[in-house]
Structure 1
Amino acid sequence: MTNRAWHLKSRPQGMPTMDNFELKPLGDRPLAEGEVRVRNAWLSVDPYMRGRMNDVKSYVPAFEVGAPLQGGAVGKVIESRAPGLAEGDTVFHMLGWREEAVGPAEAFNKVPPMPVPNEAWLGNLGLTGGTAYFGLLRAAQAKEGDIVFVSAAAGAVGSAVVQIAKAKGMTVIGSAGGAEKCAWVKELGADAVVDYKAEPIVQGLQKAAPKGIDVYFDNVGGDHLDAALASARNNARFAICGMIDGYNGAPPAALRYIMRIIAARIMLKGFIYTDYMGEVGEFYRDMGGWLASGQVKSRETVRDGIEAAPDAFLDLFRGGNTGKMLVKL
C-alpha cells in the first residue's frame, strides 16, 4: 500500500494556493514498542488549520515547512505493538492529511461503541460537535428561552450550534450565504435565517431579531460580529469560536458598534475545544442521544482521495461546503 502525505511546501501569503502544498511519500519504518499503524479512511479539513500555516505563536504549534500536515482522521489499526489497541480497531486521531498514520498508542482514541457511522467522530461527535456544544452551553452560557444568533450556520460548527440550541429550547437565527444554504439551515430548525449575500447583515439581523439577541456564536468576525453587537440585549454573551473573515490576512471590517460592549454589558469569551476536555463524557452522552433520536442531523460535503485534500481545504474559504467538509480515502 502507498503511504503519501501532504506537506507544507511554503507558508501562504493571504489565501493559500496549491503551490503551498506538496504530496510526497512518507518513509516506512517498523513499529517501536507501544506504537500502532493506522490506515486512514476519512480525513477532516477545518478552517483553524489556516492559522497553523503561519509562523506565529498560538494555542497549537505552527506547521513546519517541509513537514507533513496534521488534522483529524478516522481509520483502522492495521498493525499494533501496543496492548490497548488491536488490529482491526477503529480509531480517531489528529494524524490526518496522510494515508497511514504511525505513532504512540496514546495519540489514538478507540471509537466508542455507538450506532453511528465512523465519520461522525470527525463531525458532530468529534471536534466539530464538541466545539459547538461547549461554545454554546459553556462559553456563552446559553440557556432555554435565549435568542441565539449563529454566523456561518450552514458550516460544520454552525449547523451543530443551530441544532443544539433548538434541542435546548432556544430561539435561533442563523446566517448563511445563498438561498440553498439558507433553506438547509431552516430545515435544521432555525427560526429565521439571514442571507448575508442578499442584504447587509446588520439590517438583516435587526429584521430577523427585532427584540435583539442574548447569545452570539461567532464563526466569522467582521461585519457579522458588528451586527451582533448592534443587536445585543443587555448582558448578552458572545462565544468567539473563529473569525474566518481574517484568516487569510484580509483586514477585518471596522466595528462601528463596538462601544455597545459597555452600554449593554456584553461578555465576549474566546474558547477552544480542549478547554472542556474534563466534560467530554457529558458531551458524548448528550450528542449521542440527539443523534440517535434524530434531533441532530449530519450533512457532509465529501471529496474523494488523498489528492483532493488541499482543494477541499481551500473550498472552506470559498463557500464550497455545506456542513462538514471531509475527504474519503
Structure 2
Amino acid sequence: MAPVTNGRTIDLQNAPLHGGVLIKVLILSMDPYMRGRLRAPEIESLEGYGIGVILRSETAGVEAGAHVRGILAHKEYIIASDITALEVIERDPRLHWSAYVGAAGMPGETAFIGWREHSDAKKGEVAYISTGAGPVGSMVIQLAKQDGLKVIASAGSDEKVKFMKEIGADVAFNYKTTDLREVLAKEGPLDIFWDNVGGETLDAALEFSANYARIIECGQISGYNNAGQPVKNTGLIFAKRLHIHGFLVLDLSPKYTAAFRAEFVPKLASGEFKFTEDVTRGLDKVGDVMVAVQKGTNTGKAVVVVADE
C-alpha cells in the first residue's frame, strides 16, 4: 500500500478533549458491506466496527482503561466528543479482543439473530448456507447443526470446504469446481436457504427449494461490485409459497443481544462453537485486506490489528 500522506501527529497527553475521550484503536473489522463506503469521494475516512481502549477521558462514567466497541474511523487515535454510539465491553479471558468484532461481535450476532428470528428450524430439515466458511456462514452452520438439521454448505476453495466439514456441514463443496445445481438436486429439496451471495446461487436455491421454504437474505456479495445479477426464478416464490426474509442485524439487536451474550458467546469461549480468524497487522494494510474480503481470498474473519495495548 502507498504510504500515508495526510496523517497528523497529536500530543497524546495534552491534546484537548473538549469533554470527550481519547481512544487508541486496537482492532478493526473488515467486512463485505464496507464496499458501499468506497464509492463516494466525500467520505473522508473509512469507518467500520472496531475495538479501542480509552487513554484519557473527560466523559462522566467512562474511565481510562475501558474498552469500547462500535464504529471507529480507520485511524490510530481518535478524539471523540460523543461516545453514545460506542459500547463499553468486557472480554472473556478465553477470547482475544479480535473475537469481539467477529464471532463474538456483529458477524456472530448476525448469524444468531437471523437464524433465531427467521429460520423456524425443525429437526430433520435441510438447510443450505452459501459462503459457509465465512464469519457469518460458519456460525449459521453450527447453529443449524445444533438444531438437528442436515446442512449443505458451499465456499470457494478446498481449504474452506475442509473447514466447513470440520464444523459439522454434512455436505460441503467448492462452488468453483462443483456444479451447484447437481448438488442441490441430489441433496435437497431445501427447507432453509441462508443467502450471502445472491445472483445465480439464489436462483438455484429457489429452483430446488421445497414448498414453504424460508429464504434468509443476509447479503448478496456477488453484486457488490457491479449492477447485480438477474434472478430468473422469481415465479417460484409464489408457486412454492416461499417465505423470503431480508434483515439488518441492527434492527433486531435490541430483541436478541442479551440472549446472544448469554447463550452464544459462552459457547465460543468454551470451544463448543468453532471460528477462525485471518489476522493482519498494520493500519497501512487495510486496503489489501479490503480487497481480499471482496474477492473472498481471506480465510476466516478478516481483522486488522492496529496496535497492541
Superposition TM-score, scaled by structure 2 size: 0.90
Instruction: State the SS of the aligned residue for 1:202.
Output: helix
Cα pair distance change 1:96/1:156, threshold 3 Å: farther
Of 58, 66, 72, the match for 1:95: 72
Q: Aligned residue for 1:111?
A: 89
Cα pair distance change 1:53/1:290, threshold 3 Å: same
Of 17, 23, 31, the match for 1:31: 17
1:216 aligns with 2:193: yes
Structure 1, unaligned runs of 5 or more: 1-17, 56-63
Q: Aligned residue for 1:288?
A: 265
What does residue range 58-77 of structure 1 map to in structure 2 within 5 Å?
65=42, 67-77=44-54
Of 253, 258, 271, the match for 2:247: 271
% same residue = 35
Deviation at 1:101, TM superposition (A): 2.3
1:232 aligns with 2:214: no
Of 19, 34, 41, the match for 1:49: 34
What is the one-letter code of the residue matched to 2:7? Answer: P
Q: Aligned residue for 1:140?
A: 119
The one-character-per-residue Cα deviations of 1:165-188 (angstroms, maximum 9, x if unpaired) are 222322211111121110111111
The one-character-per-residue Cα deviations of 1:194-217 (angstroms, maximum 9, x if unpaired) are 21111222222222x23x111111
What is the one-letter code of the residue matched to 2:185? Answer: Q
Structure 2, unaligned runs of 5 or more: none
Of 232, 242, 265, the match for 1:256: 232
Q: Distance in 1 between matches of 2:250 and 2:43?
A: 27
**Any conservation in 2 of the 1:182–1:194 contact (CA below 8 Å)?**
yes
Aligned residue pairs total 299
**Any conservation in 2 of the 1:299–1:324 contact (CA below 8 Å)?**
yes
The one-character-per-residue Cα deviations of 1:48-73 (angstroms, maximum 9, x if unpaired) are 01123345xxxxxxxx6251110011
Q: Aligned residue for 1:305?
A: 282
Deviation at 1:113, TM superposition (A): 4.7
**Any conservation in 2 of the 1:234–1:264 contact (CA below 8 Å)?**
yes
What is the one-letter code of the residue matched to 1:256? Answer: K
**Any conservation in 2 of the 1:159–1:188 contact (CA below 8 Å)?**
yes
**Any conservation in 2 of the 1:140–1:269 contact (CA below 8 Å)?**
no
Q: Distance in 2 between matches of 1:185 and 1:101?
A: 38
**Any conservation in 1 of the 2:113–2:253 contact (CA below 8 Å)?**
no
Instruction: State the SS of the aligned residue for 1:224.
Output: helix
Q: Aligned residue for 1:81?
A: 58
Of 157, 173, 177, the match for 1:198: 177
Q: Aligned residue for 1:315?
A: 292
What is the one-letter code of the residue matched to 1:32? Answer: H
Q: Distance in 2 between matches of 1:309 and 1:23?
A: 15
**Any conservation in 1 of the 2:21–2:54 contact (CA below 8 Å)?**
yes
Deviation at 1:40, TM superposition (A): 1.1
Cα pair distance change 1:49/1:323, threshold 3 Å: same
Cα pair distance change 1:194/1:259, threshold 3 Å: farther
Higher relative contact order (CA 8 A, sep 6+): 2
Instruction: State the SS of the aligned residue for 1:227.
Output: helix
**Any conservation in 2 of the 1:93–1:108 contact (CA below 8 Å)?**
yes
Instruction: State the SS of the aligned residue for 1:249.
Output: coil
Q: Distance in 2 between matches of 1:78 and 1:143?
A: 48
Q: Distance in 2 between matches of 1:231 and 1:130?
A: 28
